[in-house]
């Protein structure tokens, strides 16, 4: 693999996509995962062991909660992320254990600090719509790189898309880089955001964009 995606998702949109037991989703962007651009369960024998990340637990619960299942002691989501993506990322020495993988993802999340970037730019959950180009410009200006932004397409009879996920890309040296593919690079696998029949896709620049405050 060539690059890592740090995917943030907007809990309210995640809850909107599913009829699961979403209760009071956090009102800040949380981590969906840290994904190598290629890879799918690279080492099936390397099972998730929650005791390896017990020191990270309070941060994990806060910044990387299982939005769909509100009980705190659920580790299913982390297990899925580790087995599907972490075991692939582990070919990199700085990510080659569960503690390093989850710890580094938390570190990158805090470093990017997406929540305060959007707030500083006055982009906050609201019942009025944003232009996708405005959101992109803000992020590109702030970070100096182009992230990948995914939305829930408009439902029947709606005119607006709903913002759901913002992914930042990093080199293997963990430097921010553009998410657009460089020459000769494969296009990334589509994210595994499928809930029921709805799924996220790259946002359209021409549709009004909804950044919902509540489910």
Query: What fold is seen in the domain 4-211?
Result: Ribonuclease Rh; Chain A (3.90.730)
Per-domain boundaries in the chain: 4-211
According to the model, what pLDDT value does residue 51 have?
97
| Residue whose entry in the numeric block shows the structure tokens 């944003």 | 130
Average pLDDT, the chain: 90
Enter the tokens of residue 157: 């009879």
Query: What mean pLDDT is predicted for residues 57-65?
Result: 95
Q: What digits encode the pLDDT tens for the residues 63-92? A: 999 988 766 668 999 999 999 999 999 999
Q: What is the largest CA-CA distance in the chain?
A: 49
According to the model, what pLDDT value does residue 17 have?
85
pLDDT above 60: residue 194: no
Q: Active-site residues: which are they?
A: 32, 81, 85
pTM summary value:
0.92
Query: What mean pLDDT is predicted for residues 136-145?
Result: 97
């Amino acid at each position: 693999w060539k690059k890592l995606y740090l995917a943030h998702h907007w809990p309210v949109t995640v809850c909107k996509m599913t009829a699961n037991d979403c209760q009071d989703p956090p009102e800040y962007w949380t981590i969906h995962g840290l994904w190598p651009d290629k890879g799918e369960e690279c080492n099936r024998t390397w099972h998730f062991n929650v005791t390896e990340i017990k020191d990270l637990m309070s941060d994990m619960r806060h910044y990387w909660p299982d939005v769909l299942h509100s009980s705190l002691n659920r580790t299913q989501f982390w297990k899925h992320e580790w087995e599907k993506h972490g075991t692939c990322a582990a070919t990199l020495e700085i990510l080659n254990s569960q503690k390093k993988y989850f710890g580094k993802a938390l570190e990158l999340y805090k470093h990017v600090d997406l929540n305060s970037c959007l707030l500083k730019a006055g982009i906050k959950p609201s019942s009025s719509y944003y232009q996708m180009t405005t959101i992109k410009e803000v992020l590109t200006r702030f970070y100096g790189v182009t992230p990948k932004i995914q939305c829930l397409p408009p439902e029947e009879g709606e005119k607006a898309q709903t913002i759901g996920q913002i992914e930042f890309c990093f080199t293997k040296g963990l430097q921010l880089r553009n998410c657009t593919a460089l020459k000769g690079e494969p296009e990334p696998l589509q994210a595994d955001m499928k809930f029921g029949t709805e799924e996220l896709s790259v946002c359209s620049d021409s549709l009004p964009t909804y950044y919902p405050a509540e489910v």
